Amino acid sequence: MSARLAQILRDLPQHRGPVIRRRDGRPGPAKPHSVSQRTNAFLHSIGITETLHQLRHRFGTTTYQAVRDIRAVQELLGHASPTTTAIYAAAASEVARAAVEAAGDLDCAA
């Protein structure tokens, strides 16, 4: 969790229990699909066209690009397998282009 988010959560009024509550008033946390639907509706209402899932994907991709550590990204996203996380490690076009250029610089006479 980022330091900024940790501070936001610390600044919430003191209470116990879920931060996002169920809409039906029953005890316990909101169901994941409900959180997703509510968050998507909020995002769209403020002009953000991406869904929560798309933002998660962007987080995974940009985090991998920043640290180049598949295991770290796997832990952050909560994936059981690095194979699942591998989709976030797809080479960006500029990285692929640099790899091709580097291969062209090899001394083939050796």
- Tokens representing 86 are 């591998």
Residue 47: the pLDDT is: 96
pLDDT in tens, 20-58: 788 888 888 888 899 999 999 999 999 999 999 999 999
Which CA distances in Å does 30 have to 33, 40, 54? Answer: 8, 15, 20
Among residues 76, 94, 93, 95, which one has the least CA distance to residue 85? 76
Which distant-in-sequence residues (6+ apart) come within 8 Å of 71 by Cβ? 82
The structure's pTM equals 0.64
